[in-house]
Amino acid sequence: MKYFITLFLVVAIIFSSCSTKEQTSEKQVEKIVYPETKKVDSTRVYHGVKVEDPFGWLEDDYSEETKKWVEAQNKVTENYLSKIPYRDQIRKRMTELWNYPKKSIPSKQGDYFIYTKNDGIQNQSVYYISKDLKSEEILIDPNSLSKDGTTSVTGVSISDDSKYAAYSYQQAGSDWTEIKVLDMSTKKEVSDHIKWVKFSGASWYKDGFFYSAYDDPGKKGEFSNKNEFHKVFYHKIGTSQEQDELVYADKEHPLRYHFAWVSENDKYLILSCSEGTSGNAYKIKKLDQPNAKFITIINDFENDHGVVDVENDEVLLTTNYNAPNYRLVKFNLSKPAKENWQDVLPNKEYVLEHAEIINHQIVAQYLKDVTSLVEFYSMTGEKLGELKQPGLGIVTGISGKKDEDFMYYGFTSYIYPHTIFKYNKDGDDEVYYKPEIDFNPDDYVSEQVFYKSKDGTKVPMFITHKKGIKMDGTNPTMLYGYGGFQISIKPSYSTVNTVFLENGGVYAVANMRGGNEYGEEWHKGGMLHNKQNVFDDFIAAAEYLVEKKYTSHEKLAIYGRSNGGLLIGAVMTQRPDIAKVALPTVGVLDMLRYHKFTVGWGWAVEYGSSDEKEHFENLIKYSPLHNVKEGVEYPATMVITGDHDDRVVPAHSFKFAATLQDKYKGDEPMLIRIDVNAGHGSGKPTAKIIDEWTDMWSFTMWNLGVKEIKK
């Protein structure tokens, strides 16, 4: 793809410990008076079952009543957090640790290398270009696009002739994207402006580019209306969006995504179609033939595929069809049927994550026990060698071209800060960029353990902590998880984890089913009717940490985002005794109505839909919103969302927090923190990230009984 993608690291910070007795005596906070949330008579009927939805009015995020509720809730939360004595100290230390120069992997586009740099605590990383990676100049500085840093540039694509650069940007964390174009000779914007783009960049062809967009959702439907009829357009430079050519649309299937990009040789337009977050079809069009039609190469949505290359009508494709850990196949466009697919790299016992062609060789990136393995092959599948990595960790990205004999790649682990290497054709590695940071890996240990889940399944977990800490059950511990959508949660250094580690904390990440850590069977083991396995895997991880005396239930905090927010909501309602603190963040918490908003319909392949009786009966069992009970001692909870989250709409969090506050009568706080001018997380400015994590860890430490932190 001709896209340049910037990755933003998710960060964490944590706390030191004290005894349970100290916790009781030291944590004295006045009883919280929550805002009154009105309850309305609202009953929805699902397959003959009546389900009350008394806080359903909070789904209207444009109403004045909802806005006043948000303001009142934030006021209560801010009042609570402001009384935590070391909140400012956490913010100061987090800012210190974050403040070091960062750089991304360079990508070659046209005549230029393009990459991002951040001087430390800039709200957004700045895009640079260079022809030789020695001298450089700024292409675009996102920090100049808004005063508060909430406008982010999500990708830049340079035309083949290097005359223009299209950049995609988002505002206030929304998934809605706009595209503008720069004249590369002047770095000034030209008149081209594309709106209502979502989940798409710009892929150049001749004097224009392809992109995907929706129709204008209307003023009040921008952040919550269901998105339908994703279309592919071609925009010619110098024309208006209204003149753009409609390249592909599917009038029969409104709930499908369509993504198009141009092959590296500029001869083929590749179109991926999907009905959700897994399973896709493919069509390919020959661009060098006038009036050519799309050739369907895969027409079902039963498996996951990825086009690696098309040359002389020969297609290279990764697929998990008849290959749960993926394989690389080849076939001719004239005979695309699956029976004609020939293995180039067959299915292995570990997962093929990605493949690309560099220096006319296949570079295959595998995942083996949640660590990277990169192997080199000839175009016919003969193994040529392996990439020697600095240790057990993750290759974060590989950048190279088919006709170039070098590549750049990034490497990280939980205790190895992200470093960029240049790899040459003779097999030599050299460090291209290594961050200078106040962190000594020799002071810490990061180990992988395997534990048994409820049904006996062996699940991996990474545990990171300072060397020499005592395993006596008193260590403050954070357990993180995700478990879904084929997303593998892999080792990655996080700057603010340093605060956690230097104060004797334990940071654990469970690699539950639902992800892609062990291929499609691992994914299927945690989706649809198997979703309970994910929650069981996470609960078993917590029990392992307690059993092995890393921590205790009174010293354990649990955290997850998005699908991971669902995880935390489900676990805390199923096992409220499992942890002392719960942080469900931007979570999918109303499992009966998630598909009614924005792109939630695309998750039905993962969760199932309440529109179908068999799935309703499964979803209602674990839907966090519908499993909050009266008289139960829940963990200290801070629900977190953003008012511009148009992926997992904030109504999920609003209704869950209102239900907790209504039904819970104990002493633990049931708060909600609603970030203003923020979305699901993408493009969030540094200042807002630091503010959010300051509040998260202030809340967590205080409710774990921590009296002070060391720095």
- E strand or H helix at 109: strand 107-109
pLDDT at 498: 84
Domains of the chain: 72-96+439-470+478-487+497-703 (3.40.50.1820)
pLDDT at 42: 92
In terms of Cα–Cα distance, which of 140, 130, 141 is closest to 165? 140
**Catalytic residue flag (residue 680):** yes
Are the CB atoms for 198 and 213 separated by under 8 Å? yes
Largest pairwise CA distance in the chain:
79
Residues in CB range of 377: below 8 A, 6 or more apart: 344, 345, 361, 362, 364, 383, 384
pLDDT at 678: 55
pLDDT at 74: 95
Residues in CB range of 405: below 8 A, 6 or more apart: 359, 424, 425
pLDDT at 680: 59
Quick one: residue 87, left, alpha or beta (phi over 0 = left, psi -120 to 50 = alpha)? alpha
Q: Six-digit token pair at 504?
A: 């004797």
Q: Which of 305, 418, 626, 680 is catalytic?
A: 680
Residue with tokens 């071609």: 234
Q: Which of 274, 562, 609, 698 is catalytic?
A: 562
Say how far apart CA 400 and CA 484 lie, in whole Å.
Answer: 30
Say how far apart CA 411 and CA 408 lie, in whole Å.
Answer: 10
Say how far apart CA 585 and CA 198 lie, in whole Å.
Answer: 22
**Catalytic residue flag (residue 626):** no
pLDDT mean for each 10 residues of the chain (711 residues): 32 30 43 94 96 95 91 96 94 93 95 96 94 95 88 93 95 84 95 92 95 85 75 97 95 91 96 87 93 93 94 96 97 96 97 96 97 97 95 94 95 96 87 93 96 98 96 96 95 88 91 96 97 98 98 98 97 98 97 90 92 98 98 97 74 96 96 78 77 92 89 71
Kindly report the three-state secondary structure assignment for every residue of 369-436.
CCEEEEEEECCCCCEEEECCCCCCCEEEEEEECCCCCEEEEEEEECCEEEEEEEEECCCCEEEEECCC
Phi and psi (nearest 5°) for 692? -60, -50
pLDDT at 685: 80
Question: Which DSSP string do the residues of 136-204 spell out, in sequence order?
Answer: -EEEE-GGGS-TTS-EEEEEEEE-TTSSEEEEEEEETT-S-EEEEEEETTTTEEEEEEEEEE-S---EE
Phi and psi (nearest 5°) for 139? -90, -50
Q: Six-digit token pair at 453?
A: 């889940």
Phi and psi (nearest 5°) for 607? -100, -30
pLDDT at 681: 53
For the purposes of burial, counting CB atoms within 10 Å of the CB of 338, is it exposed (0-12), middle (13-18) or buried (19 or more)? middle
